[in-house]
Chains A and B, each alone.
Chain A
Amino acid sequence: MDLAVESSGLTKRFGRQVAVDSIDLAVPRGAVYGFLGPNGSGKTTTIRMLLGLIRPTAGRHALLGSAMPAGSGRVLPKVGTLIEGPGFHPYLSGRDNLRRLDAADRTADPATSRARIDAALARVGLTAAAGKRYRAYSLGMRQRLALAAALLMPRELLILDEPTNGLDPQGTREVRALITAVAEAGTTVLLSTHLLSEVEQICTDVGVMHQGRLVAQSSLAALRASVAPRARVETAQPEVAGRVLHELGMSEVSVTGQTASGRLAGVAPEKAVAALVEAGVPVRGFTVVEPDLEELFVSLTGEGFDVSG
């Protein structure tokens, strides 16, 4: 498989504390990879190592097929970044801050600089505020400017650390739509987040960090498939329904109030409905409940995620 981000045994120790513990990342090209984990789980340290800001204690990694950090001069111009929140000169305008970053990029053509800066500002909806000093920007505008900087050049890979942090619900939707659009144009996106909902909405792949370790990594579809959906029956006779579900071979059958449910695990839903009717269960409602990713992640990490976003 062609990988946009690849690491093996990537480790960072600060003194005696292990911040990142031997992780093997595999981000397929074209994926929107959700790098999911609670705060302090090592996501940002990993991203800093990927970009060559922090030297790994052990392990190696490659971006877009080139070994890092040796290939950084060639590879990083094709990588747009948002690292641990925006960072700009407060007394320069948003536009001047982008000019500065563009001037620093030796692969950027000065002749197209203005057009690219305008295009990037327009994409994140900052055109009107481009001339304002950065210090006067709200947190949401700062975040947008950081995204504009990540989109200054055509990129093959975006590494975005918590891109919707500090945005209002409208801004969050816009940024997610932007990421989806960039990904549809063929750019691989590695997106670190602590929001499970963000992963569910826009990601195709996911890697779960917990206390410095990558505890799970796969495509979202495969992950969903690994957990069978549940069948839920609403009926006045839940006890009987529960017994029928159990006899059909479902596991984890539970009966509460006016409902009975069980994990389908290969049992066709229509077969279950037929069996229930045959057994004389008065079925009021029958639903197939898709597996709950949060439940799965909690079982992986032993901790909950903030799912409010």
Chain B
Amino acid sequence: MSAADLPVAQPVRWALRPELRLLRSELLLIFGRRRNWAGLAVLAAVPILLATVVRLSGGPAAGEGPNFLSSVVDNGYYVPLAALAISLPLFLPLAVAAISGDAIAGEANVGTLRYLLAVPVHRTRLLIVKYLAVMIFAVAAVGLIAVVGLVLGVALFGIGPVTLLGGEQIGVGEGLLRLVAICGYTAAGLAAIGAIGLFISTLTEQPIGAAITVLVVTMASFILDSIDQLSWLHAYLPTHWWLAFGDLLRQPIYLENVERGLLSAGAYIVIFWTAAWARFSNRDVTS
């Protein structure tokens, strides 16, 4: 085939299809990478390990151990909840930090950023697609833990009417809907970390450094959140509202903290995505 047989470049109009094509390519890049498979395997191992250990040992005495763990023996429904609660302080932020820190810095590091920009991919477009992919990864990571936990929980312990935190019971169907809501809320909190990660990723050409920085920020937020003397600051910390997902297991659902949590996540996303854009859209790309 010679160049003459090939279609000539058309003038640029905005269309959805090319954007989906780039997003798909981005997701293939994330989910096709062995390193990320290993990370997802670690996430999936949490509910597996938890359910297996509880099954073999008969479970901790009531009132001991992490949240929900004591209820696992009675109802497989609590396996995903317990696994999410265990993963939230470290594994999930770590996974999102690795992916978001890699977003721009990873491309700069291997020298693909200059070629993407010369294709051309408009810088704003690249940041949008990169961030969408980070969000999708956050949803996938949380969803993976929930699905693996639920399947294994049902298999090992069965599933029945769900006892809520106040002692009320709801049916399995409503329980599953609430689990979906909890996953969505958790993913929103992680997406805020992802936005911070995207911004940090525009500052450096070292993806590992960016990921570590994001994790340090997350850990610092947890630590500051645990210092009572800084209570005035707590509401502004990105991780402060994360554990409010428990409020979705009350009857009636207590929404005040969840709403503030979503507002906080939204604010972090807007601020840090904008900061990433401000930094990246004018930066000299010398990588």
**What is the interface of chain A, defined by CB distance below 8 A to chain B?**
48, 51-55, 72-74, 76-79, 81, 83-92, 99-101, 103-107, 109-110, 112, 115-116, 119, 149, 153-155, 182, 185, 187
Contact = CB atoms under 8 A, between A and B. Distances in A.
A51 B34 CA distance: 33
Interface in B70-95: none
B117 interface: yes
B12 A104 contact: no
Given A81-B115, A89-B110, A100-B112, 5 more contacts: A53-B285, A78-B9, A89-B29, A112-B6, A153-B9
Interface in B90-136: 110-122
A95 to B, nearest CB: 13
A136 B117 CA distance: 25
Contact of A105 (B8, B119, B282): B119
Given A55-B282, A106-B15, A185 B119 contact: no
Given A91-B34, A103-B22, A104-B25, A74 B285 contact: no
B82 to A, nearest CB: 34
B62 interface: no
Contact of A53 (B28, B32, B114): B114
Contact of B21 (A54, A110, A185): A110
A84 B114 contact: yes
B110 A76 contact: no
B55 interface: no
Nearest to A55: B284
B65 interface: no
B107 to A, nearest CB: 9
User: Which among A106, A109, A182 has the greatest number of chain B C-beta atoms within 10 A?
Assistant: A106
A110 B113 CA distance: 22
A103 B2 CA distance: 21
B21 A101 contact: no
Contacts of A78: 9
B171 interface: no
Nearest to A12: B284
Given A52-B120, A105-B119, A88 B285 contact: no
B120 A77 contact: yes
A11 to B, nearest CB: 14
Nearest to B282: A55
A124 to B, nearest CB: 14
Contact of A104 (B8, B22, B33): B22
A106 B12 contact: yes
Contacts of A187: 3
Contact of B115 (A77, A101, A182): A101
Contacts of B115: 81, 83, 87-88, 101, 149
B167 interface: no
B18 interface: yes
B24 interface: yes
Contacts of B120: 52, 72-73, 76-77
A147 to B, nearest CB: 12
6 contacts: A77-B120, A83-B115, A84-B111, A87-B110, A103-B22, A153-B9
Contacts of B21: 103, 110
A103 B29 CA distance: 12
B15 to A, nearest CB: 7
Contact of B117 (A53, A88, A90, A99): A53
A52 B29 CA distance: 25
Contacts of A73: 12, 120, 122
Contacts of B3: 154-155, 182, 185, 187
Interface in B17-62: 17-19, 21-22, 24-25, 28-29, 32-34
A100 B3 CA distance: 21
Given A85-B111, A91-B34, A112-B6, A100 B118 contact: no
A291 to B, nearest CB: 36
B1 interface: yes
A154 B8 contact: yes
Q: Which 7 A-B residue pairings sit nearest by Cβ, starting from the closest?
A: A87-B111, A106-B18, A103-B25, A76-B120, A53-B285, A107-B9, A77-B9
A48 B285 contact: yes
A109 B3 CA distance: 14
A70 B144 CA distance: 43
Contact of B286 (A54, A91, A104): A54
Given A74-B11, A81-B115, A89-B112, A115 B284 contact: no
A106 B116 CA distance: 12
